[in-house]
Chains A and B, each alone.
Chain A
Amino acid sequence: MFRFYIALLMGKIARIAIKILGRSGGTNYPGQLALKICPQLLAYVGRPEKIIAITGTNGKTTTSNLLADIFEKNGYTITTNRFGSNIDTGIATSLLTGVTLANKPKNKLAVLEVDERSSLKIYNYIKPDFLVCTNLLRDSLFRNPHPYFIFDIIEKALPSKTVLVLNADDLITARLGSLKGNRRVYYSVARFPEDRDEPFNLTNDMALCPLCGAPLKFSYVKYNHIGRAYCPSCSFGSPAADYTLKAVLDNEIEVAENESEDRYHMVYGTIHFLYDEIAAIAAARSFGLSADQIKRALADASVVSTRLEEVSEGEVKIITYMTKSQIATACSGVFDIVRGFPGKKEVVLILDELHGNVSENMSYIYDTDYEFLNHESISRIVIVGARCKDNYLRLLLAGVPAERLAMSETGEDAAELLELAPGSTLFILPDLTQPAEAEKIRQAVLGRLRSGKEA
Chain B
Amino acid sequence: MLRIEMLYPEAANLYGDRFNAWYLQKSCPGSTVISTSFSDVPAFAKGEADIVCMGGAPEIYQEKAIAALMPYRSALQECIDKGTIFLFTGNAVEAAAEYIENEDGSRIGSLGLTKLYAKRDRMNRYNSIFLGSFDGGESGQIEIAGFRSQSSMMYGDNSSFYAFASEKGCGINRESTLAGVRLGNFFGTYLLGPLLPMNPEFTRYILRLAGENEAAPAFEKEAAAAFEARLMEFRDPHFATENLR
Contacts and interface: CB of A to CB of B under 8 A. Distances in A.
B240 A397 contact: no
Contact of B222 (A143, A363, A387, A396): A396
Nearest to B10: A207
Nearest to A140: B245
Given A141-B149, A363-B193, A366-B197, A326 B245 contact: yes
Given A141-B127, A145-B14, A363 B239 contact: no
Q: How many residues of A sit at the interface, in one of the four size bands? A: 35 or more
A122 to B, nearest CB: 15
A368 to B, nearest CB: 8
B245 A363 contact: no
B10 A208 contact: yes
B15 A359 contact: no
B97 interface: no
Contact of A359 (B150, B218, B222, B234): B234
Contacts of B13: 203
Contacts of A138: 14
A389 B38 contact: no
A142 B11 contact: no
Contacts of B197: 366, 393-394, 397
B122 interface: yes
A313 interface: no
Query: Which size bracket describes the interface of B in this complex?
Result: 35 or more
A27 to B, nearest CB: 21
Contacts of B61: 208
Contacts of B229: 386-387, 389-390
Interface string B8-19: 001101111111
Contacts of B151: 145, 149
Contacts of B218: 397
B243 A146 contact: no
A396 B127 contact: no
Given A145-B151, A358-B243, A364-B16, A390 B226 contact: yes
Nearest to B192: A363
Nearest to B238: A357
A148 interface: yes
B129 interface: yes
B238 A363 contact: no
Contact of A393 (B16, B147, B226, B233): B226
Contacts of B15: 141, 363-364, 366-367
B244 interface: yes
Contacts of A390: 198, 226, 229-230
A434 B35 CA distance: 39
Contacts of B149: 141-142, 145, 361, 363
A213 B64 contact: yes
Nearest to A355: B245
B225 interface: yes
Contacts of B244: 142, 358-361
Interface of A: 138, 140-143, 145-149, 202-205, 207-208, 213, 215, 326, 328, 355, 357-367, 386-387, 389-390, 392-394, 396-397
Given A357-B238, A359-B233, A362-B230, 14 more contacts: A142-B149, A145-B125, A145-B151, A146-B14, A148-B59, A149-B151, A202-B16, A358-B244, A359-B245, A362-B147, A366-B15, A366-B193, A390-B230, A397-B197
28 contacts: A138-B14, A141-B15, A145-B151, A148-B58, A149-B122, A203-B13, A204-B10, A213-B38, A215-B10, A358-B245, A359-B129, A359-B244, A363-B15, A363-B149, A363-B192, A363-B193, A366-B193, A367-B15, A367-B16, A389-B226, A390-B230, A393-B225, A393-B226, A394-B197, A396-B222, A397-B22, A397-B197, A397-B219
Q: Give me the 5 closest cross-chain CB pairs, A-B, nearest first.
A: A366-B16, A389-B226, A366-B194, A142-B127, A141-B149
